[in-house]
C-alpha cells in the first residue's frame, strides 16, 4: 500500500490535464459550427428593398419623372411635327393640285362665261345690225341701189361678223391655250418647288435623325463599362416605368449582399420581426444616416439592422452610376426580416 502511494507520479496527471484542455478547446470549437450557419446563411436573412422613393424626395422624383416624360414627349412631338410637316406638305401639294384644278375649272368656266357673254353681245350686235339692216332694207326697198348696197353691206357685215367671230374664237382659243400653258407651267413650277421643299425637308429630317442616332451611339459608347450599360438599359426600363424595381437591381443587390454579410442577427430574433431602415448616402457612397423608419418592436433587432448597414458602408459602387441614378439611390429604404428558421 505504501509503495503505491509513493508512486503517484506526474505521467497520468499530465495526460489528464492536457485532456481537459483539449476537451475545453473542442467545446469552444464545437459551438461554432452550430452557431455559424444561422447568421451566415443569407437565404435566411431577407433584406429587401421596399421602395427607393421616400416621402421627402417624392416631389423631386415626380419632377424628374415629369421632366423625363416631357423630354420624351418633346421628342415625340418633334417627330410628330416632322411627320405632320411631311403630311402638311403632301396636303399642301394636294391642295395646290386641287386649287389648280379648281383654278382650271374656274378658268374654264370663266372662259365659257366670257364666250357666252361675247356670243350674246355678238348676237345682240347681230340683232341690232339685223334691225338696222331691216331698216336699211326698208330704205333700200325704197332705193334698190341702196338695197344692194345694204345687201352688200349686209354681206360685208356678215362677213365681218364671221370674220370677227372667227377672230374672236381664234383669240379665245389662243387665250385659253395660253392660260392653260401658263397654268401648267405654274403648276409644274409649284410641283417642282413642293418637291424640292419636301426633298429638302426629308434630307433635313434624315440628317437630323442620323445626327440623333449618331449622338445616341456616341453616348452609348461613352458609357463603356458594363454597369453603365446595364444602367442605360435600366434607364430605358425606368422610362417604361413598369419595371423600376428591376432597374434598381444591380446596385441594390450589391447593397443587399453587403448588408446581409454584415448582419448579425441577435439571438432572440424570431421570424415575425420586420424592420425598415432608411439609408441615406453621400455622393461618394458614404453613409450619412441609417435610421429605423419602422421599428420591429425589438430594439436589439432594430439595432442589428442599422449596425449591418453601418458595417456594410460605404457603398463605393454608387460613384459608378449615372448622375440621375445616383440621386435616386442616395436615399432608399431597406426592409429587414429574419427567415423562418429562427
Compare residues 21 and 91 and give the one whose CB is closer to another protein. Answer: 21
Binding another protein (rule: CB under 8 A), the pick from 119, 205, 264, 294 is: 264
160 binds another protein, rule: CB under 8 A: no
- In angstroms, give the least distance from the CB of 50 to another protein: 24
Q: All 3 cell numbers of residue 59?
A: 416631389
Q: Specify whether the CB–CB gap between 304 and 269 falls below 8 A.
A: yes
42 binds another protein, rule: CB under 8 A: no
Angle between helices 58-142 and 226-240 (to 10 degrees): 60
Compare residues 6 and 221 and give the one whose CB is closer to another protein. Answer: 6
- In angstroms, give the least distance from the CB of 2 to another protein: 6
Using CB under 8 A as the binding rule, the residues of this chain from 279 to 338 that contact another protein are: 307, 310-311
80 binds another protein, rule: CB under 8 A: no
Please report, for residues 126, 157, 166, 278, the alpha-carbon distance to residue 161 in angstroms, rounded to integers and kept in the order given. Answer: 8, 6, 8, 106
242 phi and psi angles, rounded to 5 deg: -100, -30
1 binds another protein, rule: CB under 8 A: yes
Compare residues 180 and 310 and give the one whose CB is closer to another protein. Answer: 310
- In angstroms, give the least distance from the CB of 275 to another protein: 18
Nearest to 85 by CA among 210, 208, 202, 211: 202
Measured in whole angstroms, the distance separating CA 204 from the mean position of its chain's CA atoms is 20
Q: Nearest 5 degrees, angle CA 249-CA 255-CA 261?
A: 125
Q: Give the binding-site size for another protein (rule: CB under 8 A).
A: 30
Binding another protein (rule: CB under 8 A), the pick from 26, 36, 48, 206 is: 36
Binding another protein (rule: CB under 8 A), the pick from 23, 30, 32, 323 is: 32
Q: Specify whether the CB–CB gap between 279 and 293 falls below 8 A.
A: no
Binding another protein (rule: CB under 8 A), the pick from 23, 29, 55, 222 is: 29
281 phi and psi angles, rounded to 5 deg: -115, 155
211 binds another protein, rule: CB under 8 A: no
187 binds another protein, rule: CB under 8 A: no
H or E element at residue 8: none
Stretch of 21-29, 86-94, 225-233, 241-249 contacting another protein, by CB under 8 A:
21-29
Q: Name all contacts of 237-242 with Cβ < 8 Å and 24+ positions apart.
A: 238/68, 239/68, 239/72, 241/65
Residues within the interface to another protein (CB under 8 A): 1-6, 8-10, 12-14, 16-18, 20-21, 24, 28-29, 32, 35-36, 39-40, 262, 264, 307, 310-311
Amino acid at each position: 500500500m505504501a509503495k503505491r502511494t509513493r508512486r503517484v507520479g506526474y505521467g497520468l496527471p499530465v495526460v489528464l490535464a492536457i485532456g481537459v484542455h483539449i476537451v475545453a478547446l473542442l467545446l469552444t470549437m464545437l459551438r461554432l459550427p452550430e452557431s455559424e450557419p444561422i447568421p451566415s446563411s443569407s437565404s435566411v436573412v431577407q433584406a429587401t428593398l421596399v421602395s427607393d422613393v421616400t416621402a421627402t424626395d417624392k416631389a423631386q422624383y415626380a419632377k424628374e419623372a415629369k421632366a423625363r416624360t416631357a423630354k420624351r414627349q418633346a421628342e415625340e412631338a418633334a417627330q410628330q411635327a416632322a411627320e405632320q410637316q411631311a403630311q402638311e406638305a403632301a396636303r399642301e401639294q394636294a391642295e395646290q393640285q386641287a386649287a389648280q384644278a379648281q383654278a382650271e375649272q374656274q378658268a374654264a368656266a370663266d372662259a365659257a362665261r366670257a364666250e357666252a357673254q361675247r356670243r350674246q353681245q355678238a348676237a345682240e350686235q347681230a340683232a341690232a345690225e339685223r334691225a338696222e339692216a331691216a331698216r336699211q332694207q326698208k330704205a333700200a326697198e325704197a332705193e334698190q341701189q341702196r338695197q344692194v348696197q345694204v345687201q352688200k353691206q349686209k354681206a360685208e357685215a356678215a362677213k365681218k361678223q364671221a370674220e370677227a367671230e372667227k377672230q374672236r374664237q381664234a383669240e379665245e382659243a389662243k387665250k385659253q391655250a395660253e392660260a392653260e400653258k401658263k397654268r401648267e407651267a405654274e403648276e409644274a413650277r409649284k410641283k417642282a418647288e413642293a418637291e424640292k421643299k419636301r426633298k429638302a425637308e426629308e434630307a433635313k429630317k434624315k440628317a437630323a435623325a442620323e445626327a440623333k442616332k449618331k449622338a445616341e451611339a456616341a453616348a452609348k459608347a461613352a458609357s463603356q463599362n458594363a454597369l453603365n450599360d446595364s444602367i442605360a438599359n435600366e434607364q430605358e426600363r425606368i422610362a417604361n416605368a413598369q419595371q423600376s424595381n428591376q432597374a434598381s437591381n444591380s446596385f441594390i443587390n450589391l447593397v443587399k449582399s453587403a448588408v446581409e454579410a454584415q448582419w448579425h442577427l441577435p439571438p432572440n430574433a424570431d421570424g415575425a420581426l420586420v424592420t425598415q431602415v432608411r439609408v441615406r448616402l453621400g455622393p461618394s457612397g458614404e453613409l450619412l444616416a441609417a435610421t429605423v423608419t419602422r421599428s420591429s418592436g425589438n430594439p436589439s433587432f432594430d439595432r442589428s439592422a442599422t449596425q449591418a448597414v453601418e458595417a456594410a458602408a460605404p457603398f463605393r459602387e454608387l460613384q459608378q452610376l449615372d448622375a440621375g441614378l445616383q440621386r435616386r439611390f442616395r436615399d432608399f429604404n431597406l426592409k429587414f426580416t429574419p427567415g423562418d428558421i429562427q
